[in-house]
Amino acid sequence: MLNKVFLIGRLTRDPEIRFLPSGSQVTSFSIAVNRAYKTKDSDEWKEETYFFDVEAFGYLAERLGRQLSKGTQVLVEGSLRQDRWESQSGDKRSKIKVVADKVNILNTGAQAQTSSQPPAEKEETLDLPEDIDDISSDEDVPF
């Protein structure tokens, strides 16, 4: 199975930083992604905007918490995760989020790239852990 997503958008708010009971950092932010298309009837261009919630864990979360701010344009590479819960009134709820593996900051002169692992000597692009469980254990999940 494949669960991979690439999104380019701008942060709609400053990132929120929190810590799991294990001490691992989680950084959350939202991005707005635009889609332009041409209508068949009038040959007119229209634009839609979609909003996505993104979470990053561990080292990637630490770096993003320091480097991102509202309005920053980013390329997010990650996977989709569905959170499910029950509301106080007993209704079942769910929300799909993006769990970031890599984030490239697009609107800076130096084109920064951040990855989920600390930098290795003389390497700019980093491989990610093969398993998301390396980033957080089941008891660290906040839902």
Q: How far is CA 113 from CA 64, 67, 73, 141, in A?
A: 10, 10, 12, 26
Domain 5-37+46-119 fold: OB fold (Dihydrolipoamide Acetyltransferase, E2P) (2.40.50)
**What type of residue sits at position 143?**
F
pLDDT digits (tens, 9 = 90+) for 116-133: 555 544 333 333 444 434
Q: Cα separation of 117 and 100, whole Å?
A: 12
pLDDT digits (tens, 9 = 90+) for 42-78: 888 989 999 999 999 999 999 999 999 999 999 999 9
Domain ranges within the chain, ordered by starting residue: 5-37+46-119
pLDDT digits (tens, 9 = 90+) for 74-118: 999 999 999 999 999 999 999 999 999 999 999 754 445 555 555
Specify the pLDDT at position 107.
Answer: 79
Element (H, E) at 64: helix 58-67
Residue 37 φ then ψ, to 5° = -150, 160
Residue ranges with strand state E in 4-91: 5-11, 16-19, 25-38, 45-57, 73-86
CB 12 within 8 A of CB 30: yes
Measure the CA dihedral 133/140/62/115, to 10°. 10
The pTM of this model reads: 0.71
* Beta-carbon contacts of residue 36 (< 8 Å; ≥ 6 apart): 45, 46, 47
